[in-house]
Every structure is written in C-alpha cells, then in structure tokens.
Structure 1
C-alpha cells in the first residue's frame, strides 16, 4: 500500500486542483475552438498537446511548493489519465461554468507565477482568452457552429461585451466583473499587463485562429 503521512493535506489538495483541474479548464476551450472534441485527442494533438504540457509543467507547476520530482510524477500521472483510451471525455462537459472554474483552478496560479517570475504565464492567459472567445459564439475551425451554454447572467455579459465589436472593451469588461465572476480577487484589470495580453490574444484568435495563436506561445 502506497501511503504518505503528512502534517497537512492542503498542499496535496492544491496540487490536485492546480495540476489536474487547472490544465483541464484551459485545454478545453483551446481544444474546442481548434475543432478537437475529446480530452485524449487534445493531449495527443501536435500543437494542443504541447500547450497542455507548457501550462502544466512550465507554468502551474512553478507555483507549487512540494518537491519538484513529486510534482513531475503527479503531472505525468495526470497526463496518463487524460490519455485513457476507454474514456471519451468531451471537452464541452468541462467548459460549463468555465469562469468560476478558472477563478478557483487557474487564477491563483497566474497570480503566483507573476509574483515569482515577474511576468504573466502566457498559456494561462491564452486559456482565459479562449474561454472569452468561446462565449462569442460563431463558427469554429472545423466549420461547426459554436453554441455557448452557461449561466444566463454570464451569457448576457459576454453577449453585450462582444456586441461592442471592441476586443479591448471585451477584455476590460470580463476582467472587471468582480461581483459576477472574480469575487475576492477583485478587478483583474489591476494585474499588470493582463488586460493588454488578453486583448492581444483575443485579436490573434480572431485574425489567425486558435491553433496559430497557440503556436505563437510555444
């Protein structure tokens, strides 16, 4: 039996949320907008697979305080789980309530990474831009219609913001939604560089598509 005795389970819960749930939350909209429907296929995709590993190993892992070898082993196990050939895990099933999930699973890592590295984690920020883009609707890479599904108030906010036709206003509006989305994290426009980077990614996704935008950060 593999049993680990620890003073607190908190770091291990944080590890699970950060290295399993965190990548799930951002890979799903990136994969979906690229025309990929299954988590396993996303992890094996030549571009999205690299993106997932970048977010997991290069960004989120750097925000945790457990031994690095232990974190790498856990992350590898997570990827093996994502690659399970017997599970057809639809990315759309993960994307419901994407903003609250990002707030709890990815935003803490984004802020810690910025504190430790002095720069924003591009993979995590791109994941947020992908979530925002998903709520625009329209047509994805394979020609399939994008039909967002979420809480009515979230849907209305994004509909109104995208109706402005201004990606800067879209970014600012989402990041400012502290009561509806971000809670105790407050107005995310106060995070240095975040509004600019989200806007740049939104523009890139609109102009070049999701996959080409992902390639630009790998």
Structure 2
C-alpha cells in the first residue's frame, strides 16, 4: 500500500501540501489561449512558469497552455496526464538554497509523434491550433527542429519530416508542417492567424521561424504564403534559464521535500530572463502581460539581447562543456571548481563582449560576473554531455560571429579557437549526440593520427563554418595551433598557457 510520502502529485494531493507554493492560477478556470510545441523541461521551467505567474498576477485566465510533444516524449505526456497536468519547479541558488512551486498553467497535453497510431492526436492538435481562442503557438523544438540549413537558412528538402510534410500537407509530422497546416485551416475558416513565438536559442529566431513557415507554405499554396506574409507575426525572443536534465536523485529529493511523488519535476536555477519583441497579431490583446513578472520585458528589437546571451552565456557554456569533458568533469559546477577552467570561461566572455552593441544601461562586465556565479551553482547537476550535444547546430550561433568580428578587427580569439579544438577532439573521440555525428566521425576516421589534417577537415564543413571561415587561412591556422597544443599538452595546460598570454 502507498504511504503518504509516495502519493502521486495531482489536484487532490497538491491541495493538502504545505511545502509546495501554489499561485492563484491553481484555482482559476483556465481557458486555452496558447499551444506549445516541444513539451520539454525548458518550456515548463520558463514559459509555462512565467505564464502561470502572469495569470495569477493579472487574474487573466485566458492563457492556459495546450502543450504537445511531436517527435518524442510520449512517456512525459502520459505522466503529466496522470498528474492532472501539474508539476513542480524547484528553483535553486547559491544564496537562497531551494524553493519549490507548483505550476498549473497546462490545461491539456498531447503526444503527436510520427509513430502515433491512426494520426488521431495530430488531427486533434491541428483542430486545437485552428480554434479562434488560440492566439499564440510557441515553440521549443531545438535548432534541428526547424528543418533549416544552419548556414544558409534554406528549408532542407531532404529532412525526413520536412520531406514528408511537403508530400503529405494534411497529415504533418514536423512543427513547421503543423503550423502551416493549422494556418491553412484558419485562413479557410476566415480567422486571423495566430502569432508564432519561437523560444529556442537561435539568432533572429522569429525571422528564422518565419523563413521556415513561409518557405513551406510557398511550396504548398502560394495564396496561403501571401496571407501569412501579410497578416502573420513571428516575434523574436531571448530566453535564459539554466535547466539541467532531471536525475533520479533530483526526483527523490523533490519527493522527500514535498511528500509527493512528482515524475515530471524540474530542478533549475532561480534566475530567469525573457526578452520578447512586441510584435503580436492583435497587439497587446494578442498576448499575456508577461512583463508584469520580474525578468520579462517587451522590446522593439531583441537582437542585442539575444546576441549577448548567445555569445556570452551560451558561448561560455559550450566552451565549459567541451573543455570540461576532455578533463573528465561531468557537470558545469565541477568544471567551475577548477580555477583554470573558470578563468578560461571568463576569458571567452571577454572575447565576446567587444563584438556586442548593447542598449544604454546594459553592463556586460556585470553580466559576465553574474554568469560565473550562475555556473558555480552547486545545486545544479548540469551535465557537460547535455550541453555538448548538437554542437554542429550551436557553434555557428555561439562562437562564429565572435570569431568573424575578431578576424575583421585583427584581435585575439584564442580561447574560442581552443573551444573549437576541444569540440573537434570530443566529436572525434567520444559519443556525442549530434545530427551530423555520422559525417563528423567519418572525417575523424579518415584522419586518425594527423591532428592538423583532422582539424582542417572539420573546418572544411561549410554547413557549420560557412564558406568564409572554411577558407580563412588565419582562422584555420589559429584552430590548428590550438588543436596541436591540446594533443601534445592536454586541455588544462593549453588553457593555462592561453590565459597567461592574454
């Protein structure tokens, strides 16, 4: 028989919990206003939490979230249904320890994966997206979910899901295909389009989402593409919160602290930031008042903020992951306990800072200091392997524009070059998840024992480095030099020597 401590989190058991902080949203009769594609931990710890707090602060219950996984994650959807779509977020900080809150902004959850039988959930999801009350469709589907070439921005016709959707537009499997199909239904029903809100770590994520949607629509129905172009909205956003993958230890700790079993629990840092381009179908009436929550702001131009985050936070994060993996460290906090690696991460931010043009009042030195503190959070078990995944998709945004700036200005980018060398070493010697893993491992196999040629062959991948950097002699020589030093001396000695020179 279950004991009290092992009862599952749901509406009945949450009602009696004295350790979980609930907002007024818990008691509001929420109406769906948002469909979210990509029901991962980040969305739930960030947008779902902020939307929950917003509805509680404004007594505006029309922004409930219908969330769906469309590639994987059927088990999570089932677990959320068993918990009445409730879950907890435990926020951690070096200063304040742990705080647990209940999130109740999800009103429905669906799994509409490619192997879902009879396409029933796909059709149900499409029908929901076409409802008049749905004013926003938001996305956290990672870079590879958009089906775009990361270097050119062109739709990848040979992407399996994109290829399927171009030939089966009424039963789409990709996020972009679902959006195009739902917009087609809305046009047919004489409704306004919904706003498409990308929340992924991609530069100009709104513009890139617009590119993907319009390119697919253009192939399928030119009138639809014209309608989307005229009436649609694709705001760009910058999102920031460190949300590590949950562990069994985390789940057990949450259970011990709350007295309830939450199989969908999240543990993340207390910091959160969301900068949103204020460009929504219907203006202010077409979005929640998210900016009533600390850390959220609507702006005219998101680009300075997203570039700051991509080049300084994400750039340093990737650097910590690849160099830390080579040193045998498993988490970011472990890496940051080693002063050489902490100093090197700070230098990566120093290399990125002069490449940014920020609005008045933005202090990049303070931002860098705050990032170091966040990375040192001992309560977060943020795995280096998790951050290291999909590097072929992340490196162009996180490092390469900084490199281009330094090449144009004749200045130093030696720490980022060391990061690229570390990435090449990781991809050549470890099992790192990446959509280009097969191609990159074939390159590594062809150049075993020759570090210089191996490095040049990786950089020759123009889908990652672009035609410019793939042929830039100074860039190639700088990375080759780092790669050879790494091979001869090891990662820690390499980083120490580079820091000494700066």
TM bin, normalised by shorter chain, reads 0.7 to 0.9
**1:59 maps to 2:340:** no
Paired residue total: 204
How far the C-alpha of 1:2 sits from its partner, in A, is 7.0
Of the structure 1 ranges 125-134 and 81-90, higher mean CA displacement relative to structure 2 is found in 81-90
Out of 458, 462, 479, the position equivalent to 1:178 is: 462
Using the size of structure 1 for normalisation, the TM-score is: 0.84
After superposition, where does 1:95-106 map in structure 2 within 5 Å? 95-106=388-399
**1:122 maps to 2:406:** no
Using the size of structure 2 for normalisation, the TM-score is: 0.38
Q: 1:187 to 1:157 in 2, by over 3 A?
A: farther
Out of 456, 472, 477, the position equivalent to 1:196 is: 477
- Report if aligned partners of 1:63, 1:109 keep a CA contact under 8 Å in 2: yes
List runs of 5+ in structure 2 lacking aligned partners: 1-293
How far the C-alpha of 1:187 sits from its partner, in A, is 4.9
- Report if aligned partners of 1:23, 1:52 keep a CA contact under 8 Å in 2: yes
Give the match for residue 380 of structure 2: 87
- Report if aligned partners of 2:333, 2:375 keep a CA contact under 8 Å in 1: yes
Aligned counterparts of 1:6 and 1:79: Cα–Cα separation in 2 = 26
After superposition, where does 1:66-77 map in structure 2 within 5 Å? 66=358, 70-77=363-370
- Report if aligned partners of 1:176, 1:187 keep a CA contact under 8 Å in 2: no
Aligned counterparts of 2:364 and 2:435: Cα–Cα separation in 1 = 38
Aligned counterparts of 2:482 and 2:339: Cα–Cα separation in 1 = 20
List runs of 5+ in structure 1 lacking aligned partners: 138-146
Out of 411, 432, 437, the position equivalent to 1:154 is: 437
Aligned counterparts of 2:453 and 2:361: Cα–Cα separation in 1 = 40
Q: 1:127 to 1:68 in 2, by over 3 A?
A: farther
Give the match for residue 453 of structure 2: 169
Aligned counterparts of 1:4 and 1:159: Cα–Cα separation in 2 = 45
**1:211 maps to 2:492:** yes
How far the C-alpha of 1:162 sits from its partner, in A, is 4.5
Aligned counterparts of 1:68 and 1:127: Cα–Cα separation in 2 = 30
Which structure shows the bigger proportion of residues in strand conformation?
Answer: 2
Q: Which has the larger radius of gyration?
A: 2
Of the structure 1 ranges 195-204 and 2-11, higher mean CA displacement relative to structure 2 is found in 2-11
Q: 1:163 to 1:85 in 2, by over 3 A?
A: same
RMSD: 2.2
**1:135 maps to 2:421:** no
Which structure shows the bigger proportion of residues in helix conformation?
Answer: 1
